[in-house]
Amino acid sequence: MGSIVRKHLLLFHGYADDQQLYLSIKPASLSTGVSRLERCITEIQEWMLCNSLKLNGDKTDFILIGTKQQLSKLPSINLEVNKVTIEPSAQVKNLGVIFDHLMSSRKQSLNIARSANYHLASIGRIRKYIDSDTTKTLINSFVISRLDY
C-alpha cells in the first residue's frame, strides 16, 4: 500500500489495520489535491480487493484542518470513493486522540476529563472496600495513565 500512496505523492501512517493518508495543500489547489486523494483511495481499494481485503467505508473519515479564516474561504468539498460520498468530519480520532478541524485540544481535554471523572466516581463507590495501596493503584491505572497519554 505504501508504494501506491507514494505514487500519488501523499504521506501516510499505518498502525495495525488503520491507515491514514495526509496531504498538505494550499486552498487554491484544493480540488486537485482532493482528486489525487480520491484516485489514491480508489487504487488502494482495488489493491485490497485483489488481496482478499476490504476497505471499511463506514470507518473512512477525512478532515480539513486550518484556521477558521482559512476554512471559511473553502468551498464545500467531499470525497467521492466508489460512488460513495464522504463528507468532511469536524473531528477524527487517531489512536485514541481527538483531532478537530482547528487543531485545538478542547474536545480531547473534555474527553479526558469525562473519562477521569467516571473512573474517579467508580473508585469512590468501592473505596470503603479497598485499602489505600489498592486505591492508589486504581487511580494510577485508570486516571493518571489517561492524563499521561
Residues contacting residue 74 through CB under 8 Å, at least 6 positions apart:
27, 30, 64, 66
Name residue 146's amino acid: R
3-state secondary structure of 63: coil
Q: Are 113 and 60 in contact (CB under 8 A)?
A: no
pLDDT score, position 36: 92
The vertex-101 CA angle with 95 and 107, nearest 5°, equals 60
For every residue of 91-129, DSSP letters joined together read EEEETTEEEETT--SHHHHHHHHHHHHHHHHHHHHHGGG
Residue 129 pLDDT class (50, 70, 90 cuts): very high
pLDDT of residue 147: 86
What are the cell numbers at 28?
Answer: 487554491
Please give the model's pTM, rounded to 2 decimal places.
0.73
Helices and strands, counts by H and E, the chain: 6, 6
Neighbours of 27 (CB within 10 A): 13
pLDDT tier at 62 (50, 70, 90 boundaries)?
confident
For the chain, domain boundaries: 2-100, 106-148
Crossing angle of the two packed helices 132-139 and 106-126, in degrees rounded to 10:
160
Considering 41-55, 70-84, 120-134, the range whose residues carry the highest mean pLDDT is 120-134
- Tens-digit pLDDT profile for residues 78-97: 888 777 888 899 998 888 88
Whether the predicted pLDDT of 58 surpasses 80:
no
